[in-house]
Amino acid sequence: MASAKAKGETGGRPALVTPETKAEMVQLSAQGMSIRKIAARVGFSKATVQKAIAGKYT
């Protein structure tokens, strides 16, 4: 663990929601698109879209 940390490796599962995808979700929401339509467009569940818009993903 210490050697991995020294190399800058964080471990764990890689995030699927990229900052670009999150920005697209927020922008579409600001334009008035429904959560369901955003989810269909970006390929994530409605719950994931709601969390991204609420700022729970960084």
What are the structural domain ranges in the chain? 15-54
Structure pTM?
Answer: 0.76
3-state secondary structure of 34: coil
Give the confidence band of 6 by pLDDT, cuts at 50, 70, 90: confident
Distances (CA, A) of 46 to 13, 38, 50, 57: 21, 8, 6, 14
Percent of the chain surpassing pLDDT 70:
95
What confidence tier does 27 reach under pLDDT thresholds 50, 70, 90? very high
| Whether pLDDT at 23 is above 80 | yes
Which residues, 6+ apart, have CB-to-CB distance to 39 below 8 Å?
45, 46, 48, 49
CB 42 within 8 A of CB 25: yes
